[in-house]
Amino acid sequence: MAGRTVDFTRGGIIGKIVAFAVPIVLAEMLQNLYNTVDSMVVGNFVGDKALAAVSVCSAVSQMVVGFFNGMSIGASVIAARYFGGGERERLGAAMRTAFAFAAALGLILSGVGIFAAPGLLGLISVPAEVYGDAVVYLRIYLAGILFTVVYNVAAGLLRAVGDSRGPFNVLVLVCALNIVLDLLFVVVWGWGVAGVSAATVVSQMVAVFIVSFRLKKHDGSFRLTFGELSREREILRRVISIGMPAGMQNCLISFSNLFVWRYISGFDAAAMAGLGATQRIDRFVALPCKGFGMAQTTFVSQNVGARKAERVKHGFKSCLLLSLTYCFTVSAVLFAAAPYCIRLFNDAPAVVAAGIDMMHVMLPFYGFMALREVCLGTLRGYGDTRVPMILSLIGMVVLRQLYLAVALALDHRIIHVYVGYPLAWAATAALTLGYYLAKRRRYEAMASLRTEK
């Protein structure tokens, strides 16, 4: 497996970070494409109400997936630390424990989700005309949440040992499978929204099978024997203590985005359409920042395990340089190309104007997003997720919601919605950077003298 994994504890730093981050970014882009195709199939072959139902459910599914993406960080950090320290037996125990926990939790949530779907939709006041389709879609999706949970943890374990290509290769196959199943279930068999949801569940099930097989193919203690899943309480406690805050952070930020739309709905359709188009562009622009942040988490975890504090320091600078360079370059290009980007979604003059305004407000400040993600990735790599969770919630949720409430009450213009995004990035970046700098010496000492077993 040496040729497939990245060992961050030795060799050049920048090249390895790029090689590791690129598959992560491409995988995230495929995941976005995956969701976009679902909407396209439903919108074109079922109808606008069905599309609305899927769109409403996506808000709920993003919260659920965000939570488990965060939980997988706990498993990744612990596994990467053992990998970097050469503790193969402990690494194997961590993998088996994390996998067992994911499977058990997924089974429970699948059972609960079937009955909880109507209540979850009730929380966001789904319109009556789309409620029926939304319940059908969400019940099937949550019934198969087991596979989403297990896949996220298994993919995180692969990344922990430097294998970011594995999850990407799996998503390439699964994305293609999902498109085929969408067309088969919806267009050929006429299952409607149930077909789209079922296609997602089947595709995730296949993804779990492939990723699990890849874990089993690892040599030595990387091997995952399903009949002897480990349940070591101390490892499980540490996985939860690191993963739970990160999961709650993702979940609550996604939940807060629902309230942002409450403010957006107070403006005309053109403004809303322009904002929606810009958000789609923003998702793709932000992915490399998140990819560098995830790479930094693995980099720090492996080097903490190897007790290489000085290398962690160089890694922070290198990763931040890469992320800032990307942001400034892409922002400059998109700033000039904003009209063309918005017209890809809608060419109505009012929509294009609104989209351009939002892009021009946001693009100069993407550097704050880069700084935020690298700082968060570094802190998570050290296993520190509780305080960063609080700081992120202050910046991304509390301050943004307060700003929107006050600014729009005093001056009801949509530009305040636009400003809310970079304001949240800047606040969170400042808070997390300040916290990291205050704790840096303690972290470096921990990396040099790590004694945990």
Confidence of residue 62 (pLDDT cuts 50, 70, 90): confident
In this predicted model, what pLDDT tens digit does every residue of 87-140 receive, in sequence order?
888 888 888 888 888 888 888 889 988 898 888 887 766 778 888 998 999 999
Contacts of 249 (CB under 8 A, 6+ apart): 70, 385, 388, 389, 392, 393
In this predicted model, what pLDDT tens digit does every residue of 176-224 receive, in sequence order?
999 999 999 999 999 999 999 999 999 999 999 998 888 776 644 445 5
Long-range contact set of residues 421-426: C-beta below 8 Å, sequence gap at least 24: 421/282, 421/361, 421/362, 422/361, 422/362, 422/364, 422/365, 422/368, 423/399, 424/395, 424/396, 424/399, 424/400, 425/365, 425/366, 425/368, 425/369, 425/372, 425/395, 426/365, 426/368
Specify the DSSP class assigned to residue 413: -
Confidence of residue 452 (pLDDT cuts 50, 70, 90): very low
Does the pLDDT value for residue 27 go beyond 90?
no
Complete DSSP assignment for 50-67: HHHHHHHHHHHHHHHHHH
Distance CA 93, CA 208 (A): 20
| pLDDT at site 228 | 47
Distance CA 398, CA 196 (A): 35
Average pLDDT over residues 298-319: 91
In this predicted model, what pLDDT tens digit does every residue of 242-264 receive, in sequence order?
888 888 888 878 777 767 767 77
Decide if 230 contacts 100 (C-beta within 8 A): yes
Distance CA 380, CA 388 (A): 8
Confidence of residue 418 (pLDDT cuts 50, 70, 90): very high
Decide if 193 contacts 117 (C-beta within 8 A): no
| pLDDT at site 1 | 45
Q: Considering only CA atoms, which of 449, 432, 437, 438 is closest in space to residue 309?
A: 449
Does the pLDDT value for residue 451 go beyond 50?
no
Tokens of 308: 């290489």
Specify the DSSP class assigned to residue 185: I
Angle at 121 between CA 117 and CA 127, to 5 degrees: 135
Average pLDDT over residues 360-371: 95
In whole numbers, what is the pLDDT of the chain averaged over residues?
85
| pLDDT at site 323 | 95
Average pLDDT over residues 378-387: 91
